[in-house]
């Protein structure tokens, strides 16, 4: 059945004041827990990536891994984890960034990409765009090329997309 991705919106759950007061957290566990919806979301992201000649899929810890791993599997592409500081065991580089709720940093292994590899970045939610921008910087510092980014949900009011203005971006649901 061909469906518009907006049907996924009914499987998002708003959790007010999580993880801190004032933030409305978009909980994707109902979507991931719905077999047809999860497959639909993964297929939509993988279809987008497939048109971009992707060598590697980069997934952002932690909820991004859920979708990135499935997209990489469908493409037959390698998966590169971008993780919170101190989690990766090998030699890493780090980028710091601003979140909707605080600041944080992300690491990637220095040998995760070969020069000029085409990379597709996957995360669950695009909010301010800080996380995605930092991830693009990590990829580019390693000599990779970000050919596209895919998100399940975009928080339109935070306008993270403007920070990715020069990039190829797909989000399945904008709220």
Smallest distance from the beta carbon of 75 to ligand AMP, in angstroms? 21
CA distance 122 to 149: 6
Query: Quick one: the chain helix, strand, coil %, rounded to 5?
Result: 35, 35, 30
Footprint of ligand AMP on 121-140 (CB under 6 A): 123-132
Active-site residue (options: 95, 100, 117, 154): 100
β-bridge mates for residue 119, sequence order: 56, 146
Footprint of ligand AMP on 45-74 (CB under 6 A): 60, 63-64
100 is catalytic: yes
Q: Could you say whether residue 26 binds ligand AMP (CB under 6 A)? A: yes
Measuring CA to CA, which residue among 132, 163, 134 is closest to residue 149?
132
**Of 18 and 143, CB closest to ligand AMP:** 18
Binding stretches for ligand AMP (CB under 6 A): 23-26, 60, 63-64, 99-100, 123-132, 155, 160
């Amino acid at each position: 059945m061909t469906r518009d991705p907006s049907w996924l919106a009914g499987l998002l759950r708003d959790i007010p004041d999580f993880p801190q007061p004032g933030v409305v957290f978009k909980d994707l566990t109902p979507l991931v827990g719905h077999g047809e919806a999860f497959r639909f979301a993964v297929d939509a992201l993988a279809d987008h990536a497939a048109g971009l000649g992707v060598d590697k899929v980069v997934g952002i810890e932690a909820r991004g891994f859920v979708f990135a791993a499935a997209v990489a599997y469908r493409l037959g592409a390698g998966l590169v984890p971008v993780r919170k500081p101190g989690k990766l065991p090998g030699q890493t580089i780090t980028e710091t960034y601003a979140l909707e709720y605080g600041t944080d940093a992300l690491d990637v292994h220095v040998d995760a990409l070969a020069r000029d590899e085409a990379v597709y970045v996957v995360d669950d939610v695009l909010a301010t765009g800080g996380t995605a921008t930092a991830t693009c910087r990590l990829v580019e510092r390693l000599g990779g090329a970000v050919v596209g980014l895919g998100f399940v949900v975009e928080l339109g009011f935070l306008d993270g997309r403007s920070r990715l203005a020069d990039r190829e971006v797909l989000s399945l649901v904008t709220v």
